[in-house]
Amino acid sequence: MNTTLLIAVALSFSQLSHAQLGGLIKRGTKSDEKVVASKTALDWNQYPQKPAVTFKTLLDNTELLTEGELRPNYYRATFIPNRDTKGNGVSFLTDYNLCMIKTYLDGQLIKEVVYPAGNYFEGDKQISFMEEKSKNEIELTKPGKYRLDFYAGGTQFYSFEFDVNKKTNDDAYGKIPFIWYASGPWEKYGYLENQSSGSLIFGYYNRHLDFKPDPNNADVTGKSIEWTADLYKDGKMISVPMKKKKETVSLGTWKPYSTAFKDAKDYIKTSSLSDGNYTVKVQITGEDKPWTYDFVVKNKQIIPAEKQDKTKNDPKTVIEGWNNVFWIERK
């Protein structure tokens, strides 16, 4: 069973259903209770693997609203110990504030959030916690390089960096005077996911920066697109041409888009990929040329981007895909 840690930062506790929490029994701090960082020393030798935060939850859930609010949300981390250095089990009922995120702008600390509520569940294989008071929200004041440092038991175990920019509307009559937006790994990477059914899924991220994407309606902020993705092996197309997918791309905010591939008989399975050089070509409305993502299959295994290789990268910044998501670079 997967050993994972779900870092959930709730925007509003009242908005979360019991189903969303997976039946989790929630416990938070009282309004007058002082929140302090944990002093619990975790047993970092419990697992042979180094802890990390899954890359997909970082890209999916580092939400930046166009009006200038950063919302780090719903992260999933892996191989966080569930016992302390004395061998005692760790429980959020007795050990408060085990996890923390520190946010930096151009190297300067601007926000520190600890998470006072949560429980281990699923046989202690996962741990879920959240900030019930929406204290994680950050009002943006200037562009720059942002960094999220993740802590557990007072020890930093991971970092995630990205850039934040601000674009001003040149149209003095425009309804939207400016937009804030993030840039970084969203542009650089797509992913291949081995679904539980065995089907191969391709995904990528998109957003737009047009103040008026619909010239006939200033109230519309989403941009309508059509896109297709085709799979090639050694220069030859091996997937059946897919029907164009219609999507509405968000203004400023990155969202994932995905599809399965089909051959002449059925959905292409990850296990069916033979050794060779592969390319995914994505055709998107309004783009001059396709977005292309190359990858290699060797010994029947997908070789992910070098940044996902745990033998070559700092464990605090390595791309974590768990055992079913393989990140590939856009060319």
Determine the residue type at 302: I
- Between CA 301 and CA 276 the distance in angstroms is 10
Please determine, for residue 4, whether its predicted confidence score (pLDDT) is greater than 70. no
Give the mean model confidence (pLDDT) for residues 249-267.
Answer: 97
Question: Of 127 and 148, which is predicted with more confidence?
Answer: 148
Q: What is the pTM of this model?
A: 0.86
Same fold, 4-183 and 187-329: yes
d(CA 97, CA 91): 10
CA distances from 278 to 232, 233, 293 (A): 5, 4, 8
Inter-residue long-range contacts of 215-224, CB under 8 Å, 24+ positions, other chains counted: 218/174, 218/175, 219/175, 221/176, 221/250, 221/251, 222/248, 222/249, 222/250, 222/251, 223/248, 223/249, 223/251, 224/248, 224/249, 224/285
Domain 4-183 in CATH 1.10.3470? The answer is: no
Residue 316 to residues 47, 57, 98, 263, 278: CA-CA distances in angstroms?
16, 16, 18, 39, 29
Whether the pLDDT of residue 69 is over 50: the answer is yes
Q: Is the pLDDT of residue 31 over 50?
A: no
Tell me the per-residue pLDDT of 205-253, one tens digit each, with 9 for 90 and over: 999 999 999 999 999 999 999 999 999 999 999 999 999 999 999 999 9
What number is the average pLDDT over the span 87-98? 72
Q: Give, in order, the Cα–Cα distances in Å from 59 to each of 54, 62, 73, 250, 264.
A: 9, 6, 10, 15, 33
Domain borders along the chain are 4-183, 187-329
Contact 239, 268 (CB under 8 A): yes
pLDDT of the residue at 75: 84
The domain defined by 187-329 carries CATH number 1.10.8.60: no
